[in-house]
Structure 1
Amino acid sequence: MTLTRTPRLVAGIAAALLALGPAPANAAAPHTAPAGRAPASLAGEPAPPQGPLPQTGCQLTGGTASCELWAKPGSVVLPGAATPVPIWGFASTDAAPATLPGPVLVVDQGDRVTISVHNGLADDLALALPAVTGLAPDRTGAAPGGTRSYTFTASRPGTYLYEAGHTAIGPRQVAMGLVGALVVRAPAVGGRPSAYGDAASVYDDEAVLVLTEVDPAFNAAPRTYDMRAYAPTYRLINGKAFPETDVVATDVGRRVLLRYVAAGLQPHPMTLLGLDQSVVGQDARPAAYPEAAVTVPLQPGQAVDAVVAVPGGPDGRRFALLESGGRLNNAGQRYGATVTGVSPQQAFGGMLTFLDTNPPPVSGDHAGPTAANVRAAPNPASVRDAVTVTADFTDARNGNSVVDRAEAVVDDLRVAEGTGIPFTAAGFGAGPTVTGATAALPADLLTTLAQGRHTIWVRGHDAAGNWGVVGSTTLNLAVTGAVTTGVTLSPSPTAGTGDIAVSATGDDRGLGGTVTGAEYFLDTTGANGTGTPLTLGSPGAAVSAESGGVPAVVAAALAEGRHTVWVHTRDSFGLWGPYATADLVVDRTVPTLLSAAVDPAATDGRTGSASDPTDLRINAAFTDPAGGGTHSVIAGAEGFLDAGGADGSGFTFVALDGSFNGGTENTYGLLPLSELTGLADGAHQVLVHARDSAGNWGPLAAVGFVLDRTGPVITAVTAAPNPTARAATLTLSATATDAASAVAAAEWYEGADPGAGHGHPMTVSGTGVSATVALNGFSRGAHTLRVRARDALGNWGTAGSVTVTVDPPNVIFADAFTGGTSAWSQVSGTVSVSGGQLVAGTVGYVVDNTPAAERTVHAKADVILGTVNPQTAVVTVYQLRNASGGALAMAQYRRSNGVNQFRLGLLRPAGWAYTGWAAASGGTVRLDWASATAGSATLKVGAVTVGTLTGDTSGYTVESAALGLVARTATTSGSLRFDNYAATRYTAP
């Protein structure tokens, strides 16, 4: 059996395609071989398994390791790239070229490691080993031309990432390729190498897989490139992309250690098809329990060690190892086209390799020629042009075999090798390089292609039987002319009362020609060139604006409804492109008002709506009826105060949902309260209407509101009885009228104005207001009562008045304490009500403020001595007081030699006078007081008349009275009780 590498390569891709998508038409099935090694091929015997890593990158001497890294500019050749891509990389010597990734550094566990970095770049360079402990971050690095050394102990076995460190440009240096792998070898286990010195991580074959990406645009300008636009188009394993990646050579029944290093800027999930990976460590830390996984997810900066057990069975099998979550192509290369009715497929590339149990032979030519400088002329072209494809082919890098032929394929790369359009050149069969080879695309092929871009794939073949990696170029083919986009009509909808502007864009960039003309048709199309011409903004350019118009006379003749404007463009190939259209809506039906209201409907000129306190809010709903089978949308609305104006000159309304875009719109407008200044009170209106998108204004519609800034007028103020003739109450009434709104409240007051809203409330019934006024607080004589009212808008009117001659009622105040102390004006100190009696202890009393400039007072109260023990104190149990709270007369109590005694005190101009103490044990205490030049006061307790005091009291009047334990001269205990209090003016209660 004769084996070559080409069918083996195709078989491997076919296996991957079965997992990832449809297979190429010419993909071969995976080959098999008898158990054991495969037989020799014409190219030589298969290579042996690769075994453990050799010691590389460092000099090991007695437990120390000295490693040298030389940073320098370089370049890499990538599949399909027209020129080498610049990189910054590491080399193992000063003379060696930079590589991507850098050299693999291999040391032993326990070694004292020193890595010396020689900076041959134009920027400072530091080194970072993220998983190495005890190595401080270096933020300075070696200057250009300098050297910096990093020393640490390799205490933990495993796989490590080394990369450019923490300088200002460090992240860009990493993206440019300054990365590599450090392997710390563990002691063998049972004579077999082991990743972590345990049985779970023993292996036979070992491979370091450094995963990186390349964005050629970034690599071309690494210091200035905007990293937000970083988008790698190549994804590499050990600096190579499929189909140039190296296989992992192994054999059946062997264990393979895969040392993954994610040295790029993106995550890479690595999947092994057909076998499980056992993850034994991550970032040089062994796994407590090895974990089986088909896919190993790798985040940027991670290093993962995984062991794969290759089962027994037939030799010659290959197991695809690929980035399952990424793009398996190189620079987005695709094959296939819509001309065949098949969706385009990805051309395989990127992070894809194989675990190979029948690895390539040690020597021989295994890869075909590469294609470069692929171009088509003319380009762009029309279907009437002959197209010539030119390319260069070389096998100098891949085996130095003679290039004997080449071919071109349009769009569909799946056609069988050797059946494409052949190239011709004198150099075929003469050597490993052919330049300027040409292939002619026949006219019968071009006429079957769709308009637009097409990919021309080229591939070369060498004398060793290898087809090479494809190269490509893009052909822009014009079939139907330039594309017209962005057709707009303004205005549309339209009322048909003016010119209508037509604008569009002609674009021939996709075809490579230029725009040379444009035209439009209204409703129906005609022969090319017979439409209404459009003016080109940039004639002869690949892209040009196109403009023109439908005259007003034409628009006015259009029926109401929907019309179509057809626009197309002519290119420099003389081809008219496809039509683009836009609808022209003619609408002459005006919008109408559905409903409207002013909020508030009545205002005092100071109060606005709840949502907009400084404005009147006018809510209005409009609709635009369909006209001619179609309708416009409401485009705006406005309002006028009291009288209309020119369309568009009113105050603006806003769409409630934020935009005018519907056939029916709820809107609102705000009329500032300041606009009401100068208007007369009374009824007013806001005139509203809407405009549709065709420009039609609807009729004005009135929405009313009331302006009222004046409060109600008070008339016919009366009081009855008047004079009061000692009546307890009088009825105060008046008439309140308001021309603009209802009367909402009324009040009365006497004396100084307490401020609107702070008087005594009155009852409102229609226009009548009334109140019952208690007279027990009015002094004898004439009193002027004033009445005013407020309307529904909050306006208070001017007060009206009536003078009342008051003869106060006999009763000043009375309370039997059945309702607690609520009837009293003031409660002070420690008091309570129990069993219908006032209980006063320590100092506690109640105060009545009902007396009003009283000149005679007759007061009584039941005093129950109860548990009180006055001890040595004199206790005041009742006081008549003046306006400032000072006492005018009082009843006092004490206990002397076990005898309860009371006395009377009277204030006279010369001071206080007191009666003698009279024995009494409580009961009804009566105090009669009169203000006169020969005034007097008499105190009686129960059946005991304590005494009478006289004097000039004409300067005093009583304004309040206090009952309880009002005052004391020393400490007391227990409590006093009081009941049935009453005070009168004329007769004793």
Structure 2
Amino acid sequence: MRKLSLLFGLVFSGLLLQAQSISHVEYFIDNDPGIGNATGLSITPGSEVTVSFSFPVTSLTDGFHYLSVRAQDADGDWGNTTYRVFAKFNTDLGTVPAPQNITALEYFIDNDPGHGAGTSIPIIPDLTLNKIPFSFSVNSLSDGFHILSVRAQDAGGDWGNTNYRVFVKFDTDPPVNTPPSPIAYLEYFVDDDPGVGNGTSVPVSNSLSVEDLTFQVDLNGLSNGVHWLSVRSRNTNGDWNQVNYQPFTIRDNIVAIGNVAEAFCRENAFSVPFTVSGTFSTSNVFTLQLSDENGSFSNPTTLGTYTGNTSGTIQATIPAGVTIATGYKLRIIASDPAETDQPFKLFEVLDVCPAPCANSVALSSTADDISGTITLIEVSSANGHIEGSNKVTDGAEATFRAGKYIKLEAGFEVEAGSVFLTEFGGCD
């Protein structure tokens, strides 16, 4: 057992008569051995004495104990006994056992059948398990909420904590011989629900489904910030469906990116039109920013700027060092007033931009052989033609597309397992 020590400081001032000095101090643990019979401490006599000392606790049991201290003056009179509570625990934890592989995984629904009695989930033993897919039948469960519980056992036979998730089961089968009823009424509301049937009506024609419906929403009186647009419908039988909702943001100053390519290559200029709503100063600078490949603007890349306070176009160029990837976002921020929380568009950075549309292409082996890739070769859709004596090998998929003709010369070959297509059309 590791030996522990405790430092304890006390100040004894004027315990008896102020004219007398403290001449003796003693302490004891838990049980009082009687005045004068406790363990004495070395002090310098005086009317005030500060005592700092340590004492062994090896023989004490783990748990809480009392340290008591008292003093005696030069006349032999004792003062009150002062005590403090302290705790003693064994801090020698020994050797921490190495983690063991998880060897068993089981689940149960609602009632716990006991450890090892759940339904086994097949796994490959490992120290950690993440994203283990499994399915279970809910046919015998009643409609309503249920609890799915999962737990694991390691190679030493020890079980971990039981993790659970709540899910809901409903019978989704429609009533027998009951055809779907057309939607007869549609309404919306913003933020607070005014009650079924009390929303703002949206004109609809009786139809079994409503898709790509466009309607105007009254935003007057709404404060800046996030709001919720909710929509629900009622069929001709008088049944209401669930509420569908979508968050949106009200702002005074908006900079919206217009029609721009969804992907572009590095070191090539392209135009980004934008539309301004709100009021900006004449010295304001609009800055086109590119996020990282994960869509984060924590450290954006500037692609171009535009000085002014009206709608316009920014000439942009993606720097050479930007990583080729999908998942990027484009946004335009303002400087005066400073506005960074603006709409964005998804974007992809390409390695090579499409080549100009050629009128003719001649392909030969081995320079133009197509091996193991998916390749499109196209020329002008007006008068373009392709002549090829190359080879398509190693499971490649090659497509030739031309507006006038495609001619396969001697030596052209498509290896077994590869695919070759011809199409009339082409680029502009």
TM-score under structure 1 length normalisation: 0.14
Bigger radius of gyration among the two:
1
More relative contact order, 1 or 2 (CA 8 Å, 6+ apart): 2
TM-score under structure 2 length normalisation: 0.29
Structure whose residues are more often helix by fraction: 1
